Structure 1
């Protein structure tokens, strides 16, 4: 219970800091990144390790989401998510699926790994998503597994 309170206060602090600068994209990116990171982190550990993994996920996800949200508009985020889906669903292993926002200097590539079966999750793939913002790379790595409806969810 103490951890939930800590996570709520930390998330609120990140949001308030971003709001003071009046940067809506950063606020949204921070919130989404911290939430996703916390959820991913909570699935990794067990016992006290789960608390550490969740906290790390909140911080790392918030930082990455803030950076992407600061630079990316809705169109760039949509293009990035579509590329991620195409890479996971159809991409040959180690072959990049590229995307670009023509209205901003934001582009990236998603490189899927080989598909495999994972106990309790089914069909999964590791992937790397590199986003270039003004030529500087931001790299994220994860594992996604396919849901029964065909959508993908990141598990780590």
Structure 2
């Protein structure tokens, strides 16, 4: 009887230990990356992929203001040559505003991303979603139609 008890307890605790270990490893990698970025001598020399990684960490931790602040700071300080990076910045800022239910500002940033690169699916999805949340179903259906057109062209 005692062996069955041990087997049941082990079966229950193993998945929990696995999940906790995965989360600890994830947090360790986040802290390691943040420490490496923090140790850079010139904050203007931080690579865009590191800035986006920090933004993802802040979004995951639901620190919306920190995410918006860092992205806005680097957008104004650094001349970004790649429009794809700028579109990602705008999408992340829009996501932060959307998460705190400030739909007008989120729409503004999604539209900026759309104007920079109108054929990126994630931007179109974000824009359609924010229109839907705002109650503008007509604009949302136009964006969904455009998104469906992109999906059909991809299959050809």
TM-score, with length taken from structure 1: 0.29
- Hey, which of these two has a bigger chunk of helix by percent? 2
Greater RCO (Cα-Cα under 8 Å, separation 6 or more): 1
- Calculate the TM-score normalised by the size of structure 2: 0.29
